[in-house]
Structure 1
Amino acid sequence: MIARRADTKARADFATWKMMVKLNGASSLPAEALTFLASYKSLAETMAEAEASEATIELIYKSYYVDMGGTGTAPDIKSMPKDPIVDTSNVMAFKRPSPQPLPAANSSATKARPRLPVALIFICLALIYVGIRYFLLQ
């Protein structure tokens, strides 16, 4: 359990650190991250980038394994398969739902309440205000 957590944390941290370097945020990384990134750069010069990444993740994993309380040497963790597993036997094509029929125009007109125009409402409010000011505050 410790090994799996250490491996997951190592992979996540390494990806985060690489992205921080790409975004020119390396100055905010801890010293431990900078040492691992320096070893990654030296490994990247001698081997392919994917191999250098895996080797650096392995170093980070071993360090995290010890920090999390693992005893002895860190066990080898099998990584995820390189080729994605594609199973198309249960894939269903998306179909657009059929359009709903619109309600008849006559039935919607009979159910709708008549609306007062905005100007009429404004005039009524103005009359109420003037009436209150004239009759009650006089």
Structure 2
Amino acid sequence: MVHHLLGDLLDETLTRTPHYNYNDADLMGDLISFRNESVQAKMPERVSCMNPVVSTEIMTMEALVDRTMLRQQNATSQKNRFALPLDTSKNIEVLWITCEKGHVGPDDPHGPEGYNWIAKLSKNRIAMRWYDNTVLLLDRKNRSAVP
């Protein structure tokens, strides 16, 4: 299954200048290929995951973000810090991914060591934790899609 990068979202409570901007040209339009045997993408932080292992968990997006994304000191509490296109207080399916060899994005600043998450937002859209407190929005595409 191939997903096309639709946009990247930043923590709206961030008080410093992040590495990425909203809908950053370095990320927009990139493809991430998810297969049983690998996850691959040619992005600024290259994704090369061989033999991914996936476990699932049901939780709210608010709980997921609070648990795994860097929260700024003295930041006011905000329910949907990334302005995600969903009700962040409703339960969603979260996929925790680790790789037998390689990596599929960050496992820090928080969360299970060696694991990154993908949140199922709908049948054809996912959100994926990315570097520097960024969340990627991806839409499902057919296998012949080009960046």
Fold equivalence (TM over 0.5): no
As a proportion of its length, which structure holds more strand?
2
TM-score relative to the length of structure 2: 0.20
Larger radius of gyration: 1
Instruction: Report the structure, 1 or 2, having the larger helix content.
Output: 1
